[in-house]
Amino acid sequence: MRLSQSRIQAITTQMGSARILVLGDIMIDRYLYGTVSRISPEAPVPVVDIQRETIALGGAANVAANIAALGETPLLVSVVGADSSAETFRQALANSEIASDMLIVDSSRQTTMKTRVIGESQQIVRADREDRHEIGGEIQGQVLKLVSSKLDSAKALIISDYGKGVLTKSLLKEVIALANSKGIFIAVDPKETHFMNYSDVSVITPNHHEASFAIGKRILNEEVLLEVGSELMTRLRLKSLLITRGKDGMTLFEADGSSSVHSHTNFPTVARRVFDVTGAGDTVIASFVSAVSAGATLKEATIISNCAAGITIGELGAATVSCEAIATELIRLSDTTAG
Tens-digit pLDDT profile for residues 213-249: 999 999 999 999 999 999 999 999 999 999 999 888 8
Which backbone phi and psi does 283 adopt, to 5 degrees? -65, -40
* Residue 183 included in any domain: yes
Report the distance separating Cα 28 and Cα 84, nearest Å: 12
Asked if 22 and 63 touch (Cβ cutoff 8 Å), the reply is: yes
How far out from the chain centre does Cα 7 lie? 25
For the chain, the domain total comes to 1
pLDDT value at position 275?
43
The parent domain of residue 244 ranges over 5-27+59-108+132-338
* Residue 40 included in any domain: no
Phi-psi region of 279 (alpha: psi -120 to 50; beta: other; left: phi over 0): left
* Residue 273 included in any domain: yes
Which backbone phi and psi does 186 adopt, to 5 degrees? -120, 120
pLDDT value at position 169?
96
Q: How do residues 149-158 score in pLDDT, each as one tens digit? A: 999 999 999 9
pLDDT value at position 319?
65
pLDDT value at position 279?
55
* Residue 81 included in any domain: yes
* Residue 66 included in any domain: yes
| Residue segments in the chain with a per-residue pLDDT below the cut of 70 | 257-261, 271-279, 313-319, 335-339
Q: Domain holding 211: CATH number?
A: 3.40.1190.20
* Residue 114 included in any domain: no
Radius of gyration over every alpha carbon of the chain, rounded to an integer in angstroms: 20
- Percent share of the chain, pLDDT over 70: 92
- For the packed helices 323-338 and 5-14, what is the interaxial angle rounded to 10 degrees? 170
DSSP label at residue 135: P
pLDDT value at position 315?
58
Write down the pTM of the prediction: 0.92
* Residue 119 included in any domain: no
DSSP label at residue 158: E
- Based on the residue annotation, tell me whether 282 is a catalytic residue of this protein: yes
DSSP label at residue 201: -
Catalytic member of 131, 189, 282, 335: 282
* Residue 292 included in any domain: yes
Q: How do residues 302-330 score in pLDDT, each as one tens digit? A: 999 999 988 876 555 556 789 999 999 89
pLDDT value at position 1?
72
